[in-house]
Amino acid sequence: MRSLQPVRGTQDLLPDAARRHRHIAETARDAAELYGFAEIATPIFEFTEVFSRPIGETSDIVTKEMYSFVDRGGEEITLRPENTAGVVRAVLSDGLLQSVPVKFFYTGPMFRYERPQKGRFRQFHQIGVELIGVAQPQADVEVIALGSRVLEALGIGRRVALELNTLGDLASRSAYREALVSYFSRRASELSEDSRRRLERNPMRIFDSKEESDRQVSIEAPIFDDYLNADSRDFFSLVRRGLDRLRIEYRLNSRLVRGLDYYSHTAFEFVTSDLGAQGTVIGGGRYDGLFEVMGGPSTPGVGWAAGIERLAMLIDDPPPPRRPVALVPVGEAGELVALQLAEELRRAGFPVDLGYSGNLARRLRRANKIGARAAVLIGENEVERGVVALRDLDSGAQVEVPVAELPSRLAVLTG
């Protein structure tokens, strides 16, 4: 039955996959705390306007990719396609502008209706950070350094490269936009249909096209660097100087752009060649115009987001969970004692699996199946004498232990 299958573009996170996701989120959270970022959790769905206003009513994301619907109250609601807009909305609606600068870390699911492919799903998960209220380039350096630290902590720092570009200030972007429109208009017949639409709205996004014809036309397009004013050049110089001081290596990529007008100055990506065409694992930049687009006062911001699914494809297996202790009761008397003993051992910090049914052999097979380190056998005879049989499931050795001494003996056995 189709209804018993996951919806296309979604997946069940079974225990091993869930453990990898949790490891990534916890590693990033720990790193973010070192940089003074506090965790925030915004709703999974927002009023559609929260996303449509900054992204643009006619963009591909709004018209083709957002999961939007009208709820029972007649409100237009959208499952979040990204989280920066939600964080900015929270800063505005919760009165946090009075406390800037504010630094937030988040993790959670996002939703986009797009073609599922390697490392990309319709329900996907991200980690991300936002630093709001700091106009100086030190903020850009700090969030990039945090991204680098997360990748290093995950053990994949050497498998990725930082690509860096500047989008300049509004004056520089306006001049560059005019140059792009002029250039691409002359060669519009060579562009794909999507890129011809982008030419009218966001000509910079033509550089994102995967169509070979668009790529060929883009090769001779004007370079942003030729349109940067002095202020923009100085800002970018300070970002690069800061990264150099921290010994964070990067390579310049003049085609790395962000198509929306609220982006400015620094744009960056951590990329890898180990995931094929979907090589970006962290993407970010400065969005000084976003607050105004969303109806707030002019407020600077910079941040990044990373796809957990893509990171999970790169990392080594995280440390396995602690091997449990299997309690194996035999008979009614053993069942009651095992139930109480399981809780006592858990309070002492031991993971415990309590066998529910079956004979001794079947319960021991389950203990081996779940990778238990030890089995504690409790029969009527043991109950009467206040002891248990402790079996080392690695060596097979078995000893009789007083119940009171069981925690200390398990501590030695489980390390």
Residue 87: per-residue pLDDT: 97
pLDDT at res. 260: 73
The pLDDT of residue 85 is: 94
Per-residue pLDDT of the chain (415 residues; tens, 9 = 90+): 567 888 888 999 999 999 999 999 999 999 999 999 999 999 999 999 999 888 765 455 655 789 999 999 999 999 999 999 999 999 999 999 999 999 999 999 999 997 777 667 899 999 999 999 999 999 999 999 999 999 999 999 999 999 999 999 988 988 888 898 899 989 888 888 888 888 877 788 788 777 888 889 888 888 888 899 999 999 999 999 999 999 999 999 988 887 677 889 999 999 998 887 668 999 999 999 999 999 999 999 999 999 999 999 999 999 889 999 999 998 888 888 999 999 999 999 999 999 777 788 888 999 999 999 999 999 989 999 999 999 999 999 999 999 999 999 999 988 7
pLDDT of residue 119: 65
CB 83 within 8 A of CB 305: yes
pLDDT of residue 70: 94
Give residue 400's pLDDT: 95
Q: What is this structure's pTM?
A: 0.89
Domains of the chain (ranges; CATH) run 2-169+229-314 (3.30.930.10), 325-414 (3.40.50.800)
